[in-house]
Structure formats: C-alpha cells, structure tokens
Amino acid sequence: MMEKTMTQDQRLSFLVEAFKADSGEYKSLVTPKDTSDKRRVLRSLMNIRMPGEMPDKVLMVQDDYLRERAKEKGIVTLDDIPVFRDGLSIWQGDITRLSVDAIVNAANSQMLGCFVPMHTCIDNCIHSFAGIQLRAACSRQMEEMRQQYGPDYEQPTAVPMLTDAYNLPAKKVIHIVGPIVEDTLTPALEQALADCYTNTLDMCLKNGLKSVAFCCISTGVFRFPGRRAAEIAVKTVQSWMSGHPGAMDRVIFNVFKDEDKEYYEHLSGYSCITLRDNVSLMDAAAQWFHEKWGVPKEAYLDCMSLYLNGKTEYGWYLCLDGERIIGGLGIIENDFHDRKDLSPNVCAVYTEEAFRGQGIAGCLLGMAVEDMKAKGISPLYLVTDHIGFYERYGWDFYCLAHEEGTEETTRVYIHT
C-alpha cells in the first residue's frame, strides 16, 4: 500500500525513474529537479514507449498519479456544460477533463497513439493522460485485426475502435481515423467525415453509451477545412439524433481553437450558405447589399448573375437567421482601388448590428477563403480601414492603395 501514501511529487519522481529504466536508451538521462520539467520527461517517455508489459507496482503508481492529475486539472461533468439545443452542446477546452461515457480520439491508421514526444495533437494528449494501458489495449485489438486480415492491416477511415479510458474521467474512448485532405476537398472526403460521426454514434448506441464528446475530427494535420468540418459534424449528428430519438442524452462538440468555437456557435443558431445554395435569394440579397453599402442594386445583380450562371467562380456568401439575411459578403475582381494586380477582392463584408459579436463575419470569411482555395483561387485581398479585426481570421496587412479616382489611401489585406 506504499504507493497510496506517496505524494504527487514522489509518484512523479518514481515514475520518471521507472520509465527511464524501462526505456533502456534513456536510462542514464539526468532527471531535472523542476516539477514541470519532470512532467515533460515522463510524458515524453510514455509517448515513445512501445506497447508492452510493465510491473504492476509501476502501473499502480502511474494510475494514482494520473487520476490525481485529472483532479488537479479539474473534472468537467455534463452539469457543467450548457445545452444549446436538443441534447447538443459546445464546449471549449481539454477533452481529457470530460466525465462522459465516451470521448472521441482522432487517431491514425496504426491506432497506437502519437509517438512524438510532447506533441500537441489530441491523440497524444488522450494517450498521455489515459496511461500506457491505452496503447496496449489498442495494440491488442490491432493484433486481432492483423490475424484476421493479414500482417499489413491498418484501420480504415471511419471505422471506430472502442477501448476503456483507463485513467481519464471518461468511461470509454472511441478511436477513429478521419479522412485526409491531400489536395482538394471532394464529396467523397466529405462523406467519409460524415461517416465518422454516424459510425461513432452507432457504436455508442450498440454499447449503451449515452453521452459522447466529439473532437474536431480531421481538422488538424489531416487538413480538413474547419468550417466545412463543423457543418458536416452538426448536420450529421442532428440527422442521426432525429432518427434515433432518446438514444443519446448528450452529444458534445469539443473544440480547442477559438475559430472552431465560432464555427460551431454560429451553426447552433444560424446558417451560412453560398448564393448557389439558394438561388431564389438573389434579388433579396442584391437589395440587402444595396441598402448596406449604397452601391446600385443592379451592380450586385450583375455580379451575382455571372456567379450563378457559372461565368465566374467569384462567389457570394450569406448568413441567414431563418429566412432573414443577417450577414454577407462577396468576391469581385477589384473593390474600387488602383492596385488592379491585387485580385480578387473580398467585398461588402457586413453583419447586422444586432447580430455582431457572434462570429458571423469570421464564419463568412472562413467560408469564402475555403471555397476559393478549393477552386484553386488564392490569395484573396480585402480593402478596409479596420485595424485588428481581420487579423483575427488569418488576414495580414499587405500594402496601402489609393481609392479609385481619389488621393485617399486605404489598407489592403491578404489571405494566403
């Protein structure tokens, strides 16, 4: 029972020495004195360790240490997370703090976790705070798959694997491989991402798991555009829950980055569309932009007609509250300045005053950037007198330009 009476510092020091000895290669590593440095050494040694046996005493100390670390970080329960609609929640923070039936891990096809020391990916974080038993459990399941399907087996995209969560506050971990965007986002990749959510929820239903927290699958090193990923996630989960009433008590969209939080918060109440998604809005959209900017309605109609008829890919983007337009922007060749070489330009960015501060402009800007990149159109430029706003969404000051026909200068921003 000695390990039960150890302090956290004593557990940490014990574990560092035990994992150093286990590693072989790093057994002579000088142990730092600082607690934060010791934590980094321990996590790094855990990260690089292949699955295998470890003495029971070491596992017991590790378990006590990690469970206490979970308490130190603060365990978050369902009661701490508000519901925005029909059992759906958005929560920003460390997914390893969540006390839910299952958390979702964005895994790779080897299904053994991330081996890069101290890497910030969610796969690394989950394995680090669950303990080395998690990698061992994944390894056992992968070995069973290799025996069934051959020695070269790798986990397919959108096929979930269920394990215990060990020292995490959650009960289970659902590991799933999301689609990788190599070049252009395609309908097949979008369907694969939707399948990740559907198949995970099916696994929850099969195993009696009533609450699950999804990470932002595929949006990190797998390069799936964040805004589109959020749209697919929300749409797919809502569709599944509509078809399985009462099956889940709570589905949480767990986000880490501010921009992802804005995407999900926006989707919780409003919808962002391209004008091609709803052609019938063209006249209302042209009138709305005219009222906001004073440019003749006919000018907007001309640009929108070219876009809707496929004569240009420079799009128009709207945010709707129900059927009401509350935000919008467009892309044109030049937004009335003398630098004709800086093209195309985002123009007419506007959000109704009552709806500002909710990330609508950021969502529309992200949508436009991703849409244009998918069509091979990059960089984009934008003229504005605002300082500090567009920088939040990845835009950088590029140069000054003269407003068309005047000596007045304006700031030009670029998004690459």
User: pLDDT of 59-86, one tens digit each?
Assistant: 999 999 999 999 999 999 998 887 777 7
For the whole prediction, is pTM greater than 0.85? no
Q: What is the mean pLDDT of the chain?
A: 93
Structure tokens at 299: 């000018």
Q: Is the link from the previous residue into 179 a cis peptide, with omega within 30 of 0?
A: no
The predicted structure's pLDDT at residue 262: 82
At 4, the pLDDT band (50, 70, 90 cuts) reads low
At 361, the pLDDT band (50, 70, 90 cuts) reads confident
At 321, the pLDDT band (50, 70, 90 cuts) reads confident
Structure tokens at 208: 């009696």
Asked if residue 266 has pLDDT above 90, the reply is: no
**What distance lies between CA 186 and its chain's CA centroid?**
18
**Mean pLDDT across the stretch 113-133?**
96
Quickly count: other Cβ atoms within 10 Å of residue 198's Cβ: 17
- What is the second-level CATH architecture of the domain 78-269? 3-Layer(aba) Sandwich (3.40)
Structure tokens at 241: 């829950």
Rounded Cα distance, 25 and 356, in Å: 56
Measured CA to CA in angstroms, residue 321 lies from 197, 263, 274, 315 at distances of 26, 15, 14, 20
Q: At which residue do the structure tokens 């308490």 appear? A: 71
Residue ranges per structural domain of the chain: 2-73, 78-269, 272-415
Asked if residue 233 has pLDDT above 80, the reply is: yes
Q: At which residue do the structure tokens 């934590």 appear? A: 39
Q: At which residue do the structure tokens 């989950």 appear? A: 126
Rounded Cα distance, 226 and 366, in Å: 9
Asked if residue 372 has pLDDT above 70, the reply is: yes
**What distance lies between CA 316 and its chain's CA centroid?**
25
**Mean pLDDT across the stretch 236-246?**
89
The predicted structure's pLDDT at residue 1: 41
Q: What is the CATH number of domain 272-415?
A: 3.40.630.30
Q: Compute φ and ψ for 169, nearest 5 degrees.
A: -65, -25
Asked if residue 358 has pLDDT above 80, the reply is: no
Asked if residue 51 has pLDDT above 60, the reply is: yes
